Structure 1
Amino acid sequence: MTDDGTSPRGDAAPAGRLPGPSTPETPGRYADLRAAVLGTGLIGGSVLLRLHTAGLDVTGWDPDPATRGHARARGLAAPETLDEAVRGRDVVFLCGPLPSLPETLLRVAAVTPPDCVLTDVGSTKAELAGFAARHRLLDRFVPGHPMAGAESAGLTAASPTLLDSAAWVLCPAPGPGTLAFRWLAALVVDVFGARVVPMDAADHDAAAALASHVPHLLAGALAGAVSRTPLRDAVLALAAGSFSDGTRVAGTPARRTASMLLGNRERVLAELAGVTGYLTDLAEALRAGDGDALTALHAEAGAVRAALRGRAYGVETRDFPADGGHADEVAWLREVGAAGGHLSDCAVRPGTVAYTAHRPVRPDTA
């Protein structure tokens, strides 16, 4: 390792050895970075396209030969084998289906050097994080989940701008894994323009159950109810924004949705009980003809919707020792994410690491 934070062969340094603080000349920091993306569907394809557009050396591999061919037709490097795609890489993004991730993680870990940072984009985190811990891979595997998507799927639907400003969850671990987290957090902010949300894996799954997974159930229930009514076509003729917005994610691939829900089954069922309880309150107020109760319930819900669209954030900076066990650093990071905050910078300097965090400020506490 040289003094400027690069490896002897000149590559951008993996495993937390940042080459310096964030700068407007972001691509230059990673000019020698070698990345790989495994699974080039909507999210993986968008990761691949963004890295390619940024001018980085990136390979993309997909188990589908036709998808690899399409990638090559777009000027992307798409080797025939997974091993070839990841060999000599500094960072590997695992973007295949949720059920495939444990096996892929083990395979990639076996054929990449120990300082190669590994991450995933799966929509559930606790199970895979536990698997990585049991296999002693949390020193370089950082569980991740960019919160973005679209109705369409596949590389043809991917976009290099899909992840702009997206909340991108990364799960820090104390010890050597903190170094990998730091490096990856800076990469996600600098190259993808995303907001890094540092979270404990279990907290992510609980929050994602309501933020993403239960909405898929509700969208499926609404669209499914329409499919069974004899007035199906009349409903679709009258459907406007509320129906379209409420059923958008029902158009995502059914198998992918099923894998996501099963991967977080207990948390989804727990949070679904809360949603069912609220629906029961609404139904009882409607049945009783209680306009005041209906108004109050919808006002409560409307306040959350308003908070989603108009959140104010306060800025906080924190420094931590660059070396050591990093327990205090990881605890603070997880607390930022649990509070609804995100990171906009992570800079490693001699002896210290500096974070810039943004936490939501409620009007009653401002």
Structure 2
Amino acid sequence: MVGEAGGLARAAVVGTGLIGGSVLLRLRDAGLDVAGWDPQPAVRRRLRDRGVAVSDTVEQAVAGRDVVFVCGPLPTLPAMLARVAAATDDRCVLTDVGSTKAEVATAATAQGLGRRFVPGHPMAGADRAGLGAAGADLLDGAAWVLCPGPTGMDAFRRLTALLVDVFHARVVPMSAPEHDAAAALASHVPHVLAGALAGTVQRSALRDAVLALAAGSFADGTRVAGGPPERTANMLLANRDRVLVELTAVGAFLDEVAAALRAGDADALTGRLAEARAARATLCARGFTAHRREFPAGADHAGELAYLRELGAAGGHLTGCRVTAGAVGYTAHLPATPPLG
């Protein structure tokens, strides 16, 4: 069966909104034994109507499972993680899908869950929310951050194998602080900028005229502003310090553009736009080189952990993880061109 390479054939998903619902539907379609739970009875009924096994309590959903995906609003994750942990045994791998990682990672450590909790964040989404926006293919091929810890390498390996097998994920191993730093610019600040542009149009006396002229650049640039404001606010507050740092950097870049405009300095303006174009071109034409690495499965994991975190920090990802004959082998990919300075 697909996914059994990680030994995680029995799964549960707690919270079935956009991401949790998509995880649940994909696991179901892959043939895994999966149960779901959602705090809203109406959502549970809709899942049953779609042929998904749904429990009426969290404890029923997670009992006897090999892996549990803890989903839901960011502020609820630490308490829900504790509840799920109490209802599962030490062999059950726990993960989440939250868009920030440091807070839930700290909570898991405080709860003594370092050996079996692997913080996670699939880098995919939509401008809608809820089960109605979920789809089994939403996360297909997504970059999926996992944060391995020094005591949880076995859980990380098993979860990586499952995500690659079922979701065809590009698993990006990072520490929780590194994730939050990178996600600030990759995801969180773009939400702010999209909201700022759309919000400015909403306040404009020419709003309707602007919207009549809005083409692809406006639609693409404001797409994420269509998401639930509460969800975006939770994300920004959970990573507040880093988002503020990066907003300052974005503000400095905008100041340079504005100064060039005020001065009528075409060379300076072109230079700033060329920097932006270079980043966009790298994103659209990024190539990778593949390699394999092996580590002893049962020895000290310091070297393995350092390798994984360095891989993620360098922009790399994993597309394979298998433990055989006392060794763990990774199929990894690194950017073929050096990262932008």
1:26 aligns to what SS in structure 2? coil
Q: SS in structure 1 opposite 2:322?
A: strand
1:30 CA displacement: 7.2
Measured after TM superposition, the shift of residue 364 of structure 1 is 9.9
Can you list the C-alpha shifts for 1:295-349, whole angstroms capped at 9, x where unaligned? 1110110000010111111112111110123011011000000000000100101
Q: Is 1:260–2:235 an aligned residue pair? A: yes
Q: Which residue is 1:11 aligned to?
A: none
| 1:110-163 Cα distance to aligned partner (Å, 9 max, x none) | 110110000000000011111111221010000000000011111111111111
AA matched with 2:31: G
In the other structure, the counterpart of 2:281 is 306
Determine which of 110, 114, 128 is the counterpart of 1:152.
Answer: 128
Do the aligned residues in 2 keep the contact of 1:42 with 1:154 (CA within 8 Å)?
Answer: yes
Distance 2:314 2:127 in 1: 29
Q: 1:179 to 1:360 in 2, by over 3 A?
A: same
Counterparts of 1:321 and 1:184, CA distance in 2: 18
Alignment of structure 1 residues 226-245 onto 2, 5 Å: 226-245=201-220
| Matching residue of 2:27 | 51
- Matches of 1:52 and 1:76 in 2, distance apart? 7
1:293 is matched with which residue? 268
Q: Is residue 213 of structure 1 aligned with residue 188 of structure 2?
A: yes
Q: Which residue of 1 aligns with 2:222?
A: 247
- The answer (yes or no) to whether the contact 2:180–2:239 under 8 Å persists in 1 is yes
Provide the TM-score with structure 1 as the length reference. 0.91
On the 8 A contact 1:32/1:57 being kept in 2, the answer is no
The alignment's TM-score, normalised by the length of structure 2, stands at: 0.97
User: Which of 336, 341, 354 is equivalent to 2:329?
Assistant: 354
Match of 1:87 among 63, 68, 72: 63
Alpha carbons of 1:31 and 1:69: their partners in 2 closer, same or farther (altered >3 Å)? Answer: farther
Q: Mapping of 1:1-366 within 5 angstroms?
A: 26=2, 29=5, 33-175=9-151, 177-362=152-337
Structure 1 unaligned spans of 5+: 1-24
Q: How much does 1:363 deviate? A: 6.8
TM-aligned CA distance change 1:324 to 1:30, over 3 Å: closer
Inter-partner Cα distance in structure 2 for 1:59 and 1:26 = 17
**Is residue 7–residue 158 contact of structure 2 (8 Å, CA) maintained in 1?**
no
SS class of match (1:92)? strand
List 4+ stretches of structure 1 deviating above 6 A: none
Q: Deviations over 1:249-274 (max 9, x none)?
A: 00000100000000000010011110
- Equivalent residue of 2:306, what SS? helix
Q: How far off is 1:174 after superposition? A: 1.2
SS at match of 1:160: coil
The answer to whether the 8 A contact 1:219-1:246 is kept is: yes
The answer to whether the Cα contact below 8 Å between 2:319 and 2:331 also exists between their aligned partners in 1 is yes
**Distance of 2:49 and 2:150 partners within structure 1:** 42
| AA aligned opposite 1:124 | T
Query: Is the alpha carbon distance of 1:325 and 1:29 closer, same or farther for their aligned partners in structure 2, counting shifts above 3 Å?
Result: closer
Query: Letter of the aligned partner of 1:113 in structure 2?
Result: D
Please say if residues 105 and 119 of structure 2, whose CA atoms lie closer than 8 Å, have aligned partners that are also in contact: yes
Change (3 A) 1:262 1:334: same
Aligned residues: 340
